[in-house]
Amino acid sequence: MAHDLVCRGQDRVDQPLREKTSAEGHQVTLLCNYTLTSSANAYLFWYKQRQNRSPTLILSDFSIGKGNTEPEFKERFHAKLDSTLGTIPLTIQDVCVSDSAVYYCALQPTVTQTHSTQTQNPCVRI
Is 3 among the domain residues?
no
Confidence of residue 14 (pLDDT cuts 50, 70, 90): confident
Does residue 36 lie in a domain region? Answer: yes
Per-residue pLDDT, 33: 94
Provide the number of structural domains found in the chain. Answer: 1
CATH number of the CATH domain containing 118: 2.60.40.10
Question: What does DSSP assign to residue 46?
Answer: E
Q: Examine residue 6 and state whether it is found in any structural domain, yes or no.
A: no
Express as a percent the part of the chain with pLDDT over 90.
52
In a domain, 88, yes or no: yes
pLDDT, tens digit, 9 for 90 and up, residues 62-87: 988 888 999 999 999 999 999 889 99
Mean residue pLDDT across the chain: 81
Give residue 86's domain range: 12-125
Phi, psi dihedrals of residue 8, rounded to the nearest 5°: -120, 155
Give bridge partners of residue 61 from the DSSP assignment: 44
Q: How far apart are CA 101 and CA 55, in angstroms?
A: 10
Q: What pLDDT shows up at residue 9? A: 57
98 occurs within a structural domain: yes
Does 4 fall in a domain? no
State residue 39's pLDDT score.
61
Q: Using CB atoms within 10 A of its CB, is residue 71 exposed (0-12), middle (13-18) or buried (19+)? A: exposed
